[in-house]
Structure 1
Amino acid sequence: MEASKMTKHPLIIEEWNGSSSTKLFKTATITFSPSLQIQRSVNGFNHVWRRFLDAFVPEASSSLPGFPGSVTPDYVPFQVWDSLQGLSTYIRTMLSTQALLSAIGVGEKSATIIGATFQWFLRDLTGMLGGILFTLYQGSNLDSNAKMWRLVADLMNDLGMLMDLLSPLFPSAFIFIVCLGSLSRSFTGVASGATRAALTQHFALQNNAADIAAKEGSQETMATMIGMALGMLLARITTENPIAIWFSFLSLTMFHMYANYKAVRCLTLDSLNFERSSILLQHFIESGQVFSPKEVSTMEHVLPLWTTLRLSKSAKPLHTNVKLGLRVSTLDHSEIPFVDIVANSSYIVTLAKYLLVERKGTVSVVVHKDSTAEDILKSYIHALVMVNLTVEQKSLHLECQSWMDKHYESFVQKLKLAGWKAGRLLSHSIIWKAHWSLGEKTD
């Protein structure tokens, strides 16, 4: 009786593999009947291939979808171009390192160990000091301008390797050249590391930033190994052939710059910075609508603005005439914004979270020390509106306040509906803040 039940209703156990519930795949089926049967659903090669990919593509938690659903759509194209530019970097590193070691004196009988050690130490020391200074002056801007600084970081790395390659050609200026190259690479290290963290947070859709960072490390390690192997082969082929060395280096550098440009152009960041806010506001004033993050990504600059404004005949963007976070102690007595109006509007001024100062077409924002991210976004948009009205030569304060009262809430709501994360990064760029209050009257 029991045997007949087993024949009619055999027990079937399926084997599944994967770390995400929506990305599991069946590897085997085991059927318990009078004769035990095991049927494998995939071959060994496919299983090994899937496990290999798991080391390079991000997954999510067991209850959420894995790759590619665990990352933003711009993750894959960015990583492809980023891996290609990294590969070209590691190939060129072999050429520049070979030239640097030759300049230090490796392989020459006249070279001393202490001399080479001192030169290497001075080179590294310059780079460390440069990294600290760069962090001091630009650390607060790296999050809000991640695309620009990611590209600038790699261009500075190109300059550093160029200095290493030039060092044997100018023995009398060797120390200066290698220190300049080390200084350039120190900027690269700080900017690249900081922007990498910002981009990882952007890619992570399911609180899986750590997994994305780990998988990116695996991708970079693989690119490094391939690049080092190709670099050693190229260095061996081009040994004692300066023309071949320089042709290879310059060709790879051009490709590296192109791949970096394509990589940052692939990014569709949904956080507001100065330029994106300016683009969005100008379009909203003209049409009443806002661009999506993808539309803005094709319009914003990926190089420092001063490098492109000289070549462009169009008007300067609004945000170039706005200074967010003005230092109050730099103002003249007549410029302090609340001196003239405190007698009539003392209550309003006391409650205000920001104040605007207009000077020769430039609008500066004095930010209250207790202001929130929403207050800072509002102050910046208010300043942009004032700059726009200044360009059109209209009555500033009344027109500006009227526009804010009528349109600001609608503008912010449309930003959120379009997928923008409003105001989060603007507050990171402010160093100077102020506090104002009304003191007691004196006789």
Structure 2
Amino acid sequence: MLMDIYLGTEDTRFMLFVQDSLQAFSSSIAGLLSSRAVLQGVGVGDATASPTSALLLSILQDSMGRIATILFAHQLGTSLEPECKMYRLAADIFNDSSMIMDCLSPMFPKSIRVGLLSLSSVLRALCGVAAGSSKASLSAHFAKWGNLAELNAKDSSQETVISLMGMLVGSLVVSYITSPLATWVALISLLIVHITTNYLAVRAVSMTSLNRQRANIVFSTLFDENRVLTAKQASKQERVFERDGVLRWKASSDTLGFCQIGVPFKDVIDHVSSSSPAERTEATIVAILRVFEQEEYILWFDPARKRGVIGLKTNASPTSQLKAWSHALLAANSLKIKESNTRGPLVREQVGTDSVLMLGILQDTLAEHSKDFDARIESLRDAGWDIDTPSLQTKPGRKFDVIRKQE
């Protein structure tokens, strides 16, 4: 489903077109094999099968799919756009898994068969939500001249032609492949082609928005080398599937910790309380508010658990969100450097649990970061990055105001 338009050189566009065509072609044939298995599962060819039973099974599948659609969209709706590459590939994994469930269903008794077909319907519904949302985001990215309608129309026509060819070839395939072994060999081969081509196509896309993973890669390179990566350079270091909220220096396999952005102020207080002695919690919170008085966010990083939280103030802009996330990355890396330079288990333990030390790290890194932040943002704009589209929050967040008490 990935468009081949406006991406790099002619060779790149041709390769993406081939990959897109192969994935749609293989998916169409695999879909016919799974559809035949579903028909066998509902009793086609079985004289004892009841049309009413088949209808009730269809209603159950449809109901399960609709419920899954509602729950999935509610739970993960906010993250679909920032993580569109991940969900684009996840959609294909959901779809291919549903085909495997369909083909497994005739092998089991009726009670288990109903469960497998219902699970297949749920996976197909998840595919629909993830594919539709991520495709919309990717199409908007490819429409560089505002021609989104034209882009979608051409994408749909290309997909229709390839799917039609797949159905014609698939008609011959299902006519000749009838044994279970041959069916499974053909199905697995087609699904491998489908997933592989989709993976390569997703890897080839260079998004210009800065989600959490790309922000990690771009800002850590800026901090380390004072060099701005282009979207294409950053995409080569991206993982398609990345852990939620991870703080990672460049593309290292080691993690610095995890961070949540856009949390309620209560969550910030809870994290401070868990990492500070009870008698110092209030003083620590007051100190944090002072440190971030001029910023549009507040940040706390638990040095023991390596967990950070970012609370956004009401006036927080997309640029401020980028500053908050990159500050969390810088603070986590500074903490790691301090820990690695510290000798002795007793001192190391103090480094990991002392909230006063963490406050010092936050204050020092904020001063260091603020000094060059505006210039770095301009250099990112010049390199083609979309700074004005917020892509860091993957869950509905709450903002708050800090009202200073009159003396």
Structure 1 residue 314, shift from structure 2 partner: 5.1
Partner of 2:386: 421
Q: Distance in 1 between matches of 2:225 and 2:271?
A: 38
Describe the shift of the 1:76–1:135 C-alpha distance in structure 2 as closer, same or farther (beyond 3 A).
Answer: farther
What does residue range 35-434 of structure 1 map to in structure 2 within 5 Å? 71-73=6-8, 77-172=15-110, 173-239=112-178, 241-305=179-243, 315-318=253-256, 321-332=258-269, 335=272, 339-340=282-283, 352-359=295-302, 360=304, 361-393=306-338, 395-426=360-391, 428-434=393-399
Q: Distance in 1 between matches of 2:7 and 2:39?
A: 43
Give the secondary structure class of the aligned counterpart of 1:340: helix
Amino acid across the alignment from 1:289: R
Deviation track 1:346-393 (CA, whole Å, cap 9, x = no partner) reads 788665421011113222101113312122111111111111111112
Q: Distance in 2 between matches of 1:191 and 1:285?
A: 34
Describe the shift of the 1:390–1:344 C-alpha distance in structure 2 as closer, same or farther (beyond 3 A).
Answer: closer
Q: What percent of counterpart residues are identical?
A: 28
Give the secondary structure class of the aligned counterpart of 1:321: strand
Amino acid across the alignment from 1:355: I
Q: Distance in 1 between matches of 2:287 and 2:393?
A: 34
Deviation track 1:3-30 (CA, whole Å, cap 9, x = no partner) reads xxxxxxxxxxxxxxxxxxxxxxxxxxxx
The answer (yes or no) to whether the contact 2:28–2:170 under 8 Å persists in 1 is: yes
Structure with higher helix content: 2
Partner of 1:11: none
Larger RCO (CA within 8 A; separation ≥ 6): 2
Deviation track 1:197-218 (CA, whole Å, cap 9, x = no partner) reads 0111111111001110111000
Q: Distance in 2 between matches of 1:279 and 1:190?
A: 28
Describe the shift of the 1:296–1:317 C-alpha distance in structure 2 as closer, same or farther (beyond 3 A).
Answer: farther
Q: Distance in 2 between matches of 1:243 and 1:289?
A: 55
Partner of 1:50: none
The answer (yes or no) to whether the contact 2:272–2:285 under 8 Å persists in 1 is: no
Partner of 2:354: none
Give the secondary structure class of the aligned counterpart of 1:365: strand
Deviation track 1:166-223 (CA, whole Å, cap 9, x = no partner) reads 0000124011101111111111110100111011111111100111011100011111
Amino acid across the alignment from 1:358: F
Q: Distance in 2 between matches of 1:373 and 1:156?
A: 32
The answer (yes or no) to whether the contact 1:269–1:297 under 8 Å persists in 2 is: yes
The answer (yes or no) to whether the contact 2:23–2:197 under 8 Å persists in 1 is: yes
Describe the shift of the 1:180–1:389 C-alpha distance in structure 2 as closer, same or farther (beyond 3 A).
Answer: same
Amino acid across the alignment from 1:194: S
Q: Distance in 2 between matches of 1:204 and 1:254?
A: 30
The answer (yes or no) to whether the contact 1:148–1:303 under 8 Å persists in 2 is: yes
Partner of 1:22: none
Amino acid across the alignment from 2:310: V
The answer (yes or no) to whether the contact 1:100–1:167 under 8 Å persists in 2 is: yes
Q: Distance in 2 between matches of 1:385 and 1:211?
A: 43
Give the secondary structure class of the aligned counterpart of 1:207: coil
Q: Distance in 1 between matches of 2:271 and 2:62?
A: 50
The answer (yes or no) to whether the contact 1:321–1:387 under 8 Å persists in 2 is: no
Q: Distance in 2 between matches of 1:168 and 1:329?
A: 52
Q: Distance in 2 between matches of 1:386 and 1:325?
A: 18
Give the secondary structure class of the aligned counterpart of 1:89: helix
The answer (yes or no) to whether the contact 1:362–1:387 under 8 Å persists in 2 is: no
Describe the shift of the 1:159–1:85 C-alpha distance in structure 2 as closer, same or farther (beyond 3 A).
Answer: same
Partner of 2:355: none
Give the secondary structure class of the aligned counterpart of 1:298: helix
The two structures, once aligned, show a CA RMSD in angstroms of 2.9
Describe the shift of the 1:216–1:291 C-alpha distance in structure 2 as closer, same or farther (beyond 3 A).
Answer: same
Q: Distance in 1 between matches of 2:289 and 2:367?
A: 20
Describe the shift of the 1:201–1:75 C-alpha distance in structure 2 as closer, same or farther (beyond 3 A).
Answer: farther
Structure 1 residue 147, shift from structure 2 partner: 1.2
- Where structure 2 has 5 or more consecutive residues not aligned to the other structure, the ranges are 340-359
Amino acid across the alignment from 1:195: S
Give the secondary structure class of the aligned counterpart of 2:338: coil
Deviation track 1:29-57 (CA, whole Å, cap 9, x = no partner) reads xxxxxxxxxxxxxxxxxxxxxxxxxxxxx
Structure 1 residue 78, shift from structure 2 partner: 3.3
- Where structure 1 has 5 or more consecutive residues not aligned to the other structure, the ranges are 1-57, 59-66
The answer (yes or no) to whether the contact 1:91–1:228 under 8 Å persists in 2 is: yes
Q: Distance in 2 between matches of 1:435 and 1:305?
A: 27
Q: Distance in 1 between matches of 2:286 and 2:101?
A: 62
Work out the number of aligned pairs and report it: 369
The answer (yes or no) to whether the contact 2:222–2:228 under 8 Å persists in 1 is: yes
Describe the shift of the 1:212–1:389 C-alpha distance in structure 2 as closer, same or farther (beyond 3 A).
Answer: same
| TM-score with structure 2 setting the length | 0.83
Q: Distance in 2 between matches of 1:346 and 1:150?
A: 40
Q: Distance in 2 between matches of 1:251 and 1:263?
A: 18
